A = this chain, B = another copy of it.
Amino acid sequence: MANMKQIAKIAGVSLGTVSHVLNKSAPVRENLRKRVMDAVDAVGYQPSQLARGLRLDKTNMIGMIIPDVTNPFFPAVVRGAEDVAFANGYRLILCNTDNDHSKEIVHLNELRTFLPSGLIVIPSNFSDLTAQAESYRKSGTAVVCVDRLPKGWEGDTVTADNEKGAYEATSYVLRQGHRLLAMVMGPRHLTNAQDRLAGFKRALHEKKIPIGPEYIQEASFDQHGGYAKTMLLLRMIPRPTVIFAANDMIAFGALLAFREAGLHCPEDISLIGFDNLQFAEMTSPPLSSVSQPGFQMGTTAAQILIDRVRGDDGPAKHLILETALKIRDSVAPPSAISAQKSPSSRRGKLSK
């Protein structure tokens, strides 16, 4: 591959001049400039990002650390980030942690040696990011945290309005007449799971609807967790008339559980999810869900990052993006249930 030295030779100028032309770091007379550019075009020269990074103490790379690309919510975030990164000349190094904070640490340590301009992180469980980010920032690398926050985090964040989204979803099922709600929440130590729970509770509280702690089940944010905990909930007496799944994967698991229990949704039991994955509209029944702007979370995070790289050193930013309730067919008024299937004994409890 061609290097600047060769360009300099072809153009008959010094190394420094080539650099100045390329970076506009000093005025260069037009004729020289042209000779340099011609040489660049002639050999298709492209500067070595490695040498550049080494010299500048910073590369055009952005480390993107996420739990798992295979989890359907994350690709949109990644894509959003890649889009604005790419548009601004940055490239993404993708790292999966599997939510394992020791794997996260490995990535964090290794990424440092690439001198990335910044890091976009969806923290793992029990993430140690706060401490690590400190040292990153010291060396001038921006870190922005997306979707959920590690303990003690005070830096830039981009999250969805989980609390409000959950509140609205819950209010919606309440308006549909449900009074016996259950939630399959995400892992308690995850801030987004906490916020969704908080929104759920606020809506209930506001309408003075009591809920027993056994109607709030914790599960991992996946189909398996959703299935298992829904099974549990279905056996409770009285059985809840609606389940709020803390994300769509959990909701899909719930749907599986419904199917296995011989319950029809929404006739026998209603369900509402969170994330509004692409497939929510394809399920049976189409799943009502709180839409979360994954792509936009990615673009926003990347944009903040790039602003930081370019010198913005204002106070920490905390962007909270709006959610939107997508109503489909998985929630029906509970009256339908009682009318159709519930034993009257349960109806009594329901109406209380």
Contact = CB atoms under 8 A, between A and B. Distances in A.
A114 B50 contact: yes
Given A72-B278, A95-B91, A282-B284, A47 B113 contact: yes
Given A282-B255, A283-B282, A110 B91 contact: yes
Interface residues of A, number: 47
Interface string A77-98: 0110011001000011111100
Contacts of A96: 79, 82-83, 86
A69 B77 CA distance: 10
A295 B48 CA distance: 32
Contacts of A1: 112-113, 139
Contacts of A115: 48, 50
A50 B49 CA distance: 9
A76 B82 contact: no
A91 to B, nearest CB: 6
Contacts of A134: none
A155 interface: no
A112 B3 CA distance: 13
A46 interface: yes
Interface string A47-84: 11111011000010100100011101001101100110
7 closest A-B pairs by CB: A284-B284, A279-B279, A69-B75, A94-B94, A49-B113, A50-B54, A282-B283
Given A69-B78, A91-B93, A282-B284, 10 more contacts: A44-B109, A46-B109, A69-B69, A70-B75, A72-B278, A78-B94, A255-B282, A279-B279, A283-B283, A284-B285
22 contacts: A48-B54, A48-B115, A49-B110, A49-B114, A50-B115, A54-B54, A64-B94, A69-B78, A70-B75, A70-B79, A70-B295, A72-B72, A72-B75, A82-B95, A91-B95, A91-B110, A92-B95, A93-B93, A93-B94, A252-B279, A283-B283, A284-B285
